[in-house]
Amino acid sequence: MANAGSRCLATTLSFFLVSAAILLKVQGQNLVTDNISVVEGEVAIISCRVRNNDDSVIQLLNPNRQTIYFKDVRPLKDGRFQLVNFTDNELRVSLSNVSLSDEGRYVCQLYTDPPQEAYADITVLVPPSPPILEARDDLVSEGNETELSCTAMGSKPAASIRWMKGPEELQGETMVEETYDHMFTVVSRLSLTVTREDDGVPIICIVDHPAVKDLQTQTYLEVQYKPEVKIIVEFPEGLTREGENLELTCKAKGKPQPQQINWVKLDDDVPSHAVIKGSDLLIENLNKSYNGTYRCVATNSVGESYDDYILYVYDVLTTTSVPTSKTPVPDGSRDSRAGEGAPQKMDHAVVGGVVAVVVFAMLCLLIVLGRYFARHKGTYFTHEAKGADDAADADTAIINAEGGHNNSDEKKEYYI
């Protein structure tokens, strides 16, 4: 009975030892492989690698678990599979002209006890066709909205679409549609309100996909806008004086170019002898009756705009220089240069200073004169008052006057 127990214990220990040895052997061999992404029509490389192989057989199976290669032998009759490398530690196989039907899980198998398996998933990428960019409007007027669409067809996986307006990235609305063959079509729509600065700016549709790089297309915005108008003083360079000539040029730019440029004078008629030739206005022999606001109006199919010039004719002897400003009037706004050409107002600080000095001088003079007259009133200085303080009465005061003069004929009077 004891012998039977000993034999049972020995058998159990042997089983555990063998199992442990097999497990250590399997763990020491470590079969590995990698997932693969490949563009349709290109070549995929499948690699089955073994560390510390003990002459165990390596084979490669397709997703249907059919043997592609057993060691260095290819049982499968598909010439697209070719042996690249075979050693005790690696089985490497190439698959050329990959198609969507080749997608799936491939199996690397190592004949051990128990067998080991590692899995390589092949993903086939299908690039989209060249993007199609369409614009709703060939021409758009400033301030209006336009829409563009960009389409990327027949890709796997679905592509993503980005928009650029010059250096600025914009966001569009994207719609993804899956077709019957598990391919994807992506459409992105972009809406934007345009300004005159957008004219000629490129709008770029960029398609991002792992199977392709630098896939994009572009178009250019065509924006129409009202004229930009600016009056240029050709002559004179400084003040406009009586007897001289005035020459103005109206610069107008728009899309389309202005078909018409007119000169008018606000609240009055342009002088009868003024010469208007195209965009130029010439007024000879200026006088003050020509003062006023002269307006250049430019018109195209989008609208009209104007710029104003305020004329003030100076006297011939006027020498004060007047700074000029030529601010354009956008979109018909009024009075862009009110005061240009008008007489320059005298500096109030200077006038105030002069007046203050004059007033101060006059006040000082009045004070001096006042004090002087206060001291020297129209008073009679006589000798009658001399000794009056000590006299008992008026007669005595007269007798006691200095010098004892009691004769009225000798009395002296001083008047200042």
DSSP string, 236-264: -SS--BTT--EEEEEEEEEESPPSEEEEE
Note whether 83 and 72 are within 8 A (CB): yes
pLDDT of amino acid 68:
97
CA distance 266 to 115: 101
pLDDT of amino acid 355:
83
CA distance 235 to 32: 89
Sequence-ordered list of residues with C-beta below 8 angstroms from that of 237, at least 6 positions apart, any chain: none
pLDDT of amino acid 6:
52
Q: Name the CATH superfamily housing domain 226-311.
A: Immunoglobulins (2.60.40.10)
For CATH 2.60.40.10, list the domain ranges present in the chain: 31-125, 129-214, 226-311
| Listed residue (311, 260, 322, 253) closest to 282, CA to CA | 311
What is the pTM for the complete model shown?
Answer: 0.65
pLDDT of amino acid 316:
85
pLDDT of amino acid 356:
83
pLDDT of amino acid 107:
97
- Assign residue 135 a region (left: φ > 0; alpha: ψ between -120 and 50; beta: otherwise): beta
CATH 2.60.40.10, domain 129-214, yes or no: yes
pLDDT of amino acid 371:
79
Say if residue 202 is preceded by a cis peptide, omega within 30 of 0: no
CATH topology assigned to domain 31-125: Immunoglobulin-like (2.60.40)
pLDDT tens for the 416 residues of the chain, in order: 445 545 544 454 444 433 433 333 434 468 999 999 999 999 999 999 998 887 889 999 999 999 999 999 999 999 999 999 999 899 999 999 999 999 999 999 998 888 899 999 999 999 999 999 999 999 999 999 999 999 999 999 999 999 999 999 999 999 999 998 889 999 999 999 999 999 999 999 999 999 999 999 999 999 999 999 999 999 999 999 999 999 999 999 999 999 999 999 999 999 999 999 999 999 999 999 999 999 999 999 999 999 999 999 999 876 554 444 444 444 443 333 433 334 444 455 667 778 888 888 888 888 888 877 777 655 444 444 555 555 555 555 555 554 444 444 444 444 43
Number of Cβ within a 10 Å radius of residue 271: 17
pLDDT of amino acid 384:
46
Sequence-ordered list of residues with C-beta below 8 angstroms from that of 388, at least 6 positions apart, any chain: 397, 400, 401
Q: Which two tokens stand for residue 293?
A: 């606001």
